[in-house]
Chain A
Amino acid sequence: MITRSTRFRPWVWSAVVALMTVGLVACGSGTQDSDSTSGGTQSGGVTLTLTSITDAKVGWAPLIAAYKKVAPNVTIKASYAPTDQLQTALRAQLGAGNAPDLFAAWPGNGSAMSIQQLAPAGLVADVSDQSWIKQVPEGLKPLLGASGKTYMWSSCVAPIGVIYNKRVFQDAGISSPPKTWDELLADADKIKQAGKVPFAVGNQTPWITQLLPYAIAPSTAFAQDPNLAQDMLDNKKSFENSGWHTVFERYMELYRRGLFNKSPNGTTYEQTQQLVGSGKAAMAVQVIATMPPFLAAAKDKSDLGTFPFPAAQSADQLQIPAGVCAGLAASANSKHVEEAKKFIDWLGRPENMATFAKATFSIPLVGADSADVDPVLKPFTPFLASNKTVPFMDQQWPNAKVQPAHFAGIQELVAGQTDVPGLLKQLDEAYDQK
């Protein structure tokens, strides 16, 4: 039964409406607050927001602290997230028009957050007129922008090579790292006979699948045809109709010889760190910048070393994969785009590039000779100096679909669900999509 006291009267309605209005205003002011932190002014200064990958935090922290001394009125608020989460979040923010002033961007093409996907959409600020760009090696410059302009900063080049356990090599009677493909196979066989796993392969973590093919391709597919990436873009070559089949055949040669750990598809990246660190496995083909977790897993840090993956038949023909690191771009729609560009210009100084590169175990893009690179990178610097490097292949693929198709395809290859021709066909299909 409804009594008088529970009936709604006009004043109750006004109260409800008033409360809702207060609620909405509260929400509104919340947005305003976050606006002011992302771009507003604080006591006459400017606050710039910066979002980057977790692995780069060690590089950003000292640089941001140093910039406070250079530009005291600029405060940089940094936040970090793992790569895949960051890419997702940034793309959503870019779509919604509330991206940070400065954010991580990836060189070349091939992923949804790569600079050649962002620049044509007008989302990143043009920094072509900055002086540091002149010092970037010619071959790498196009990867930092699109259609002849530069849109992002990157500090370094990250080579892919072999992280190996010296003790396992010694125990198997190997005195120095292999220099040719045949030596590699012979050494791997020795390691296997000594009861150890030659290669720790963690294909369960998707991005790991690409490392071995990338290590093999520069000395095979790209040695046959140095312009392969461009030829593929021009539709003159394809995965099927190029040296890529050699890449995957060599991959399968290693697998069929039993040189991988048991069940590579069920093994994770983290498990490979344990395998190599603990000496159960001898080698992991990796981006050298991933050295820290391997060192953390090692009983004795001096057990671990690096060498270039010897994919060529002779040492002087060897070329290595070296990709420009993820870097930083300024949002074109930021209220403080000029301040953000000034920060990027400052980052371009050789000493700042060196600081960042050293902290992230990679080789500085500018002034590599003068900078004291980490010993684990020493085996790779001669290849950069003599231009015997090939950029990471996905940085020159035309869309964001080839790379995931490559990840899944390698897993299928190892699982026996496809063969080399099948994989090449899948990759060509992904490549030809819009």
Chain B
Amino acid sequence: MAVYTQTTMAIAVNDLQAAGFVNQLELAATAETKEITTFASAGFRQYAVGLATFGISLSGYQDQVGPSPATLFTPSSLSGGTPDVFTISVPGTTVADPAFIGTAIETTQSEMAQIGEVAQWSGSWAGTGRLVKGQLLHPAAARASTGNGTTTTFTTPTATQSLWASFHVHSVTGTGTITFTVQTDDNSGMTSAVTRITSTAFAAVGGEVRSLAGALAGETHIRVVYTISGFSSVTFTVAAGVA
């Protein structure tokens, strides 16, 4: 891949497919540096890594009706609301596209209005917990029945790492549930697939991040399996990563 001009991204925030409302995004991760310089440091300062954190800022155009950033904008979301679930992928159209997964609490929100201009909005979130870099297992698309996502390769976690997965149900038609399982295997045919993570049974739109700690020795391939009951159509995004 070469340097590129950014025109397409997939940005999932809880149930919202936000990319169509966003024209600027910043995902910034930082780590504190703690000085550990001693007389044995040969005249150069030495540092140890302290606490790490990440933040997300989005801004773009607003729509006050239907699925839009306006649904994220409630006063309660600034006062102890449930953390929002993020999956940010570039370009976010194909299985195995790079994806960042995390949960974050909203810290600022603003609506900008100027006569004659397109209504705009912006919001900032502070990460709560780990930021995971992984890959898409299922780009946003509608499914009508139970099935398996495309299998892709992955690097298995070590004993001190975890497998993380994010699930976003963007829209549903009818009544029912959809449950996701993330499976891994040691072969591309997934002939001996083992379920590693099982999501909540979503009865409505929503988002969730789940993880499984520990090594998965020998595993090389991963996929999502979606089990649809009752719904005639479900549009969803799933991503997974190791950290």
A binds B: no
